[in-house]
Structure 1
Amino acid sequence: MQIPILKQGHVLVVCIHAALTDRDLLQLRDELALEIGQRRSHGVVIDVSALDVLDSFASRTLRGIAQTTWLRGAKTIVVGIQAEVAFAMVQLGLVMEGVETALDLEEGLALLATSEGASGGRD
């Protein structure tokens, strides 16, 4: 499944609207790593608000995406984790260490704008 990657200023926005296969998640990771360089993006927001499940592979892959994008010079924020999904992740011991989260897309974009302003941005 092709996942659209939208550009808003220096930020890439990914909205995941349906459960993804393991292959889809890995493809998203690879595409984001390329897009960051091609579009000179400073941040990535991944919106998972439509998902009612985040399994261990998806959690690990999102963490891997955040680490990959950081190595490419961009900060990643995962937004929209539903309360029930958060409860289940905690009960299953699924952690996303090093991954910033926000309540929704608006808050995620605001966090990126704040961190970019504090660091002076990247030219």
Structure 2
Amino acid sequence: MPVLALGDVLLVTLQGDLHDSAAERLQHDIAERVAREPVAGVVIDISGVEVVDSFLARVLAEIASTARLLAARTVLAGMRPAVAVTLVELGLTLPELTTVLDVGQALALLGRTPSGPRARQGGA
């Protein structure tokens, strides 16, 4: 599963069912990239994911914790309502993750525009 660099933000888009081994590989790949590259944020787009089980939720939380320890912020984008309901029913919270509706909002939250450069802060 590709991890794209948009400046100092990593973007990964999850699609369909993510097998446990693929989720663990993703966790390792993101940790390696955050450790060796100047990364300010990680955006994980789950809009193409129909089901998030407890294992995947744990992996997402661990990705966020690892990134935070390496000075990067993780934003989860595109959670479907059914996925949110399932996580609540399972009693799973993702305290290390900020959630937004889509990738554009995630990039804006990280101070980036969808085209990549940093958004201006303040006046001129």
TM-score of the superposition, structure 1-length normalised? Answer: 0.87
**In 1, are the aligned partners of 2:16 and 2:50 still within 8 Å (CA)?**
no
The answer on 1:104 being equivalent to 2:102 is yes
Per the TM alignment, residue 12 of structure 1 is displaced from its structure 2 partner at its CA by: 0.4
- My pick for the range that moved more, 40-49 or 88-97, is 88-97
Distance 2:84 2:39 in 1: 28
Runs of 4+ residues deviating >6 angstroms = none
Match of 2:23 in 1: 25
Amino acid at match of 1:13: L
Paired residue secondary structure (1:41) = coil
Paired residue secondary structure (1:16) = strand
**Percent of pairs identical after alignment?**
37
2:79 alignment partner, one of 81, 92, 103: 81
5+ residue gaps, structure 1, are 118-123
Paired residue secondary structure (2:52) = coil
Distance 1:40 1:81 in 2: 27
Distance 2:35 2:53 in 1: 29
2:55 alignment partner, one of 38, 47, 57: 57
TM-score of the superposition, structure 2-length normalised? Answer: 0.86
Paired residue secondary structure (2:12) = strand
Match of 1:72 in 2: 70
Distance 1:47 1:27 in 2: 17
Per the TM alignment, residue 89 of structure 1 is displaced from its structure 2 partner at its CA by: 1.3
The answer on 1:9 being equivalent to 2:31 is no
Per the TM alignment, residue 98 of structure 1 is displaced from its structure 2 partner at its CA by: 2.2
- The count of corresponding residues between Structure 1 and Structure 2 is 114
5+ residue gaps, structure 2, are 113-117, 120-124
Paired residue secondary structure (1:49) = strand
